Structure 1
Amino acid sequence: MRARRLTGSLAWLVVLTLTAAGCGLSGGSDDGGATAGGCKVDKGNVGSGKLTGDVDGKITFQTTNLKKDFGDFFNGVIKDFEKANPGTSVKWIDDPGDSTFTQRTVADAQGCTMPDVINVDAPTATALTKAGYLLDVGVKDPDAAKPFVPAFWKSSTYKDASGKAAHSVLPWYTGGVLLTYNTDMLKKAGIDPAKPPKTMFGLFADYEKIAKSAKGKYYATMANPIWRIPADWDQMDIKTLSADGKSAVFADDPRTAQWVAWMARLYKEGAMPKDSLSSSNDPSTPYSQGQVAYGSTNPSFVRFVKQNSPSVYAKTGVGQQPFDALGHTTAAPQYISVAATSKHAPTALAFAKFLTNAENQTAWCKDPNVVIFPTTTTSLDDPFFQNATGSDPFSQARKLVAEQLKTTTAYQTNLSPAVQKAIVSQVQLAMQGKKSPEQAVKDAQEKADDLLKQAG
């Protein structure tokens, strides 16, 4: 389970948002039926009013690449739910999570065959909510918010086709954002692994030191800015979008051009592999192969390294990602959503709540092979999360994330894949020396604005 810090750019997803959004949610039509995202559904699935109905029937539950490592746990959760609710049956689908995952999910939604309960990230939730394919759990179950940490519940709000806020997902689990690095490579560059930088530009300065020390034998990090936009800007408290989300404003902040200038400089000086500028690969594999000094910012990444490269794991250190101007870090939870197109919506919603309740979140997050944290208040009060100990990378990651969660917010800028791609492509041109940082930022904002206006 290696969750990306940012979702890759998939331009076709915004097409769904723009076209399917016109269907939206409807409480009825001329023939007395109801629709969700253009699909005919039970009237109770949409509009106002609490969802009612019997909890029975067969539903489909979809995760991403979890069955191999956590099959026993989730099969147990499913068995417990079915036992507590006679007449129900949950079919578990574990998607491999490859590069076509979102595309296939969109196709399922458009075909009115999306799984009843499905794990989604923020960008996917944004698009599916606007298109009308997800149940508004905040309306359909007014008590749904009670178990969750307020910041995480707040983060589960997305806008529907009319621009109205909808709680279309339940917070499931979260991590933090950490620095993972090869301590040997840092020491060779004169960097103290025990003293991570406190600003993004300070981190970039360390990248530069790595480049000078490595002399092309290895690199600091990967080049493609898709992994950093808008995450770095969020941490620097650079506003990417206006308050209403309808226009881009990042060019108004001079630090944005400075950030791009740093990226161009690092790319030119060899801090990043030249062939990684347009590659969709994150740092996970090259780090485990000793090709880059800094790995993924996902805390569970240390598990991947331990499993795939014990020798590199032995050299791996974990440090605090720069808080920078924001003053604290942000956590972007994974979510569980219920399809508004479900034929057994009461059952799907009941299972989604069961899966994300405090008991099940606590049990899974205590698994020794993951560094994830629950999103319920009761779970986070458990001593396992509050009193993490140990000096190995796993334990250190847990300790750092536990500390983060005391002050974290769940804020993150959600860009459509098309808008993100438009910004990233201009930064790439600057990194190649084809545009000045200032011009690239100006052009990126203009292109982003055009797309935002089209989206309405």
Structure 2
Amino acid sequence: MKKVISLCLVFVLSLTMLYGCGSNKAKEDTSAGNQTGNQTEDQTKATTEPTEAAKPVTIEFWTISLQPTFTDFFNGLIKEYEKENPNVTVNWTDLPYDAIQEKLVTAAAGGTSPDVVNLNTQMALTLAGKGALTDLNKEATEDQKNIYVESLYDSAKIGDSVYAFPWYASPSIMFYNKELFNKAGITEIPSNYQASFDMAKKMKDATGAYLYNPSEFFNMLFQEGIPILSDDKTKAAFNTPDTAALLQNYKTMTDADYLPKTNWGKWDNELKLFETGKLAIISSTGSTLSRIKDEAPDVYKNIGIAEPLTGKTGLSQNALMNLVVPEASKNHQEAIKFAAYITNDASQLAFCKEVAIFPSTKAAMENDYFVSDTSTLEGIARKMSVDVSKKSMDYSLGMEGQGEISGAVNKVYEAVITSNGDIQSALDKQEKAVNSILQK
């Protein structure tokens, strides 16, 4: 499942209202993995008095594009949760991503708010930067927070605060066309983008196919370990000799037509090229296999699977979906508890068995399910995806406004590679553009 949830700027207009009606609730101290977990001393004291958690509570749970495919699955999870927590009723609303903005604006204007919301990392950070999300480092328990892979939990981190429980992940793995590799006489599987330039030349000369399509420039900087912003996130930091050299290397390759000059990072275009034998490698999620099998069965028969291409950092991309608790929720305690339940080891593992997505929790990743089948492409992809997840990250600046900044950074690529502009001039111009964004 490749979901890229892009919420419009109109969504952000609701943030002030969302923040204004929010209130902090008491910390929930029940483990996500064991809803009847051990009580802390504070909880023991609290049981002597009526608490908000003991009163009837209705949780409004919003997700994106999960119905009707997973209706029965999530209804089952919700029913089980309500059985274990008889004071709680969960109302589940599933929305297409292009409708959720209006829904949230309407809810904010009416003085209401959902309690648990499914968002991607970028939108979660934007909301958090506006003060609209609950800081889980302050309000969630250690048991709830410690089950996740640290790099994934930190994806929605700003300063010392974390604003989302990581949910299902979509790690990138490599699919390569074995027929093209054989035709080009290439026996080694590439692992590094720039180190594969000679291989790219050999592939193009022998087959007419490109070896790979470069990532979008913003992601490329992450992969190569080039800082985009200063440590204090107050100014641009990518205008460096290393960046200029990186651009010159790719400009040389694209000018010679050994790598594509256009559509960097455009996944739909990459898939089309791969399915028509014009691209030897594509980095995608395991769920892409079924689509290739349907759309290009001859290519599917020749697919090999390996770890994805990376840059100097060795960290590949792992796009996350998360669960957040809006600050405006009137039920922080129960909302955090429910979000922890949906994202705990057992729930994530069960969801992974329904669809080719992957968990963000340490224990679920170690489950034998992910290594139980190495005889099929799908089974090999499943194992590879979990292995890759342990050295991956959701490319994040750890701040709001990442979308605007990434757009400005990517204009360097457009100016230099697609428009044949001067490298230093492009870097200077977009450095100023990013600094202007940061000063807003």
TM-score range, shorter chain: 0.7 to 0.9
After superposition, the CA RMSD in angstroms is: 3.5
Q: 1:290: how far off?
A: 4.9
d(CA) in 2 for partners of 1:428, 1:289: 26
Residue pairs, 1:59-78, within 5 angstroms: 59-78=59-78
Q: Which residue type is aligned with residue 367 of structure 2?
A: D
1:261 maps to which of 248, 256, 274: 248
Q: 1:308: how far off?
A: 4.3
- Residue of structure 1 in register with 2:172 after alignment: 177
User: Does 2:288 align with 1:297?
Assistant: no
Residue pairs, 1:139-288, within 5 angstroms: 139-143=138-142, 144-158=144-158, 165-192=160-187, 195-213=188-206, 215=208, 227-252=215-240, 254-270=241-257, 276=263, 281=268, 283-288=270-275
Distance 1:205 1:287, change over 3 A: same
Residue pairs, 1:23-422, within 5 angstroms: 23=16, 36-38=18-20, 40-41=21-22, 43-45=23-25, 49-50=26-27, 53-54=52-53, 56-97=56-97, 100=98, 103-104=101-102, 107=105, 111=109, 115-143=114-142, 144-158=144-158, 165-192=160-187, 195-213=188-206, 215=208, 227-252=215-240, 254-270=241-257, 276=263, 281=268, 283-288=270-275, 290=277, 292-329=279-316, 331-367=318-354, 369-370=355-356, 372-385=357-370, 387-408=371-392, 412-413=396-397, 416-422=402-408
Q: Is the 8 A contact 1:266 1:272 kept in 2?
A: yes
d(CA) in 1 for partners of 2:195, 2:166: 33
Q: 1:169: how far off?
A: 0.7
Q: 1:430: how far off?
A: 1.1
- Residue of structure 2 in register with 1:27 after alignment: none
Q: 1:318: how far off?
A: 1.8
Q: Which residue type is aligned with residue 178 of structure 2?
A: T
Partner of 1:283, secondary structure, is: helix
Q: Which residue type is aligned with residue 318 of structure 1?
A: I
Q: Is the 8 A contact 1:287 1:293 kept in 2?
A: yes
Q: Which residue type is aligned with residue 200 of structure 1?
A: Y
d(CA) in 1 for partners of 2:430, 2:303: 36
Distance 1:384 1:277, change over 3 A: closer
Q: Which residue type is aligned with residue 435 of structure 1?
A: G
When structure 1 is superposed on structure 2, of 147-156 and 107-116 the one drifting more is: 107-116
Partner of 1:420, secondary structure, is: helix
Q: Deviations over 1:43-68 (max 9, x none)?
A: 335xxx52662364433323333334
- Residue of structure 2 in register with 1:441 after alignment: 427
Q: 1:289: how far off?
A: 5.3
- Residue of structure 2 in register with 1:2 after alignment: 2
TM-score by length of 1: 0.77
d(CA) in 2 for partners of 1:166, 1:255: 32
d(CA) in 2 for partners of 1:431, 1:189: 26
Distance 1:73 1:233, change over 3 A: same
In the alignment, structure 2 segments of 5+ residues that lack a partner are 29-50
Identical residues among aligned pairs (%):
25
Q: 1:425: how far off?
A: 1.8
Q: Which residue type is aligned with residue 202 of structure 1?
A: A
d(CA) in 2 for partners of 1:392, 1:411: 30
Q: Which residue type is aligned with residue 236 of structure 1?
A: E
Distance 1:373 1:247, change over 3 A: same
Q: Deviations over 1:105-163 (max 9, x none)?
A: 7746754655432222221111010112222222222333133233333334235xxxx
Q: 1:323: how far off?
A: 4.1
Distance 1:276 1:150, change over 3 A: closer
Partner of 1:44, secondary structure, is: coil
Q: Is the 8 A contact 1:284 1:296 kept in 2?
A: no
Q: Is the 8 A contact 2:14 2:105 kept in 1?
A: no
Distance 1:406 1:88, change over 3 A: closer
Q: 1:276: how far off?
A: 3.9
Distance 1:446 1:207, change over 3 A: farther
Q: 1:428: how far off?
A: 0.6
Partner of 1:37, secondary structure, is: helix
d(CA) in 2 for partners of 1:105, 1:243: 36
Q: Is the 8 A contact 2:62 2:93 kept in 1?
A: yes
Q: Is the 8 A contact 1:230 1:413 kept in 2?
A: no
Partner of 1:59, secondary structure, is: strand
d(CA) in 1 for partners of 2:338, 2:105: 24
Q: Which residue type is aligned with residue 379 of structure 1?
A: A
Distance 1:388 1:445, change over 3 A: farther
Q: Which residue type is aligned with residue 197 of structure 1?
A: P
TM-score by length of 2: 0.79
Partner of 1:155, secondary structure, is: helix
d(CA) in 1 for partners of 2:197, 2:105: 40
d(CA) in 2 for partners of 1:270, 1:155: 36
Q: Which residue type is aligned with residue 118 of structure 1?
A: V
Q: Is the 8 A contact 1:11 1:417 kept in 2?
A: no
Q: Is the 8 A contact 1:200 1:232 kept in 2?
A: no
Q: Which residue type is aligned with residue 380 of structure 2?
A: Q
Q: Which residue type is aligned with residue 363 of structure 2?
A: T
d(CA) in 2 for partners of 1:258, 1:11: 35
Distance 1:96 1:269, change over 3 A: farther
Distance 1:205 1:451, change over 3 A: farther
Q: Is the 8 A contact 1:108 1:114 kept in 2?
A: no
Q: 1:332: how far off?
A: 4.7
Partner of 1:421, secondary structure, is: helix
Q: Is the 8 A contact 1:221 1:271 kept in 2?
A: no
Distance 1:105 1:235, change over 3 A: farther
Q: 1:250: how far off?
A: 1.4
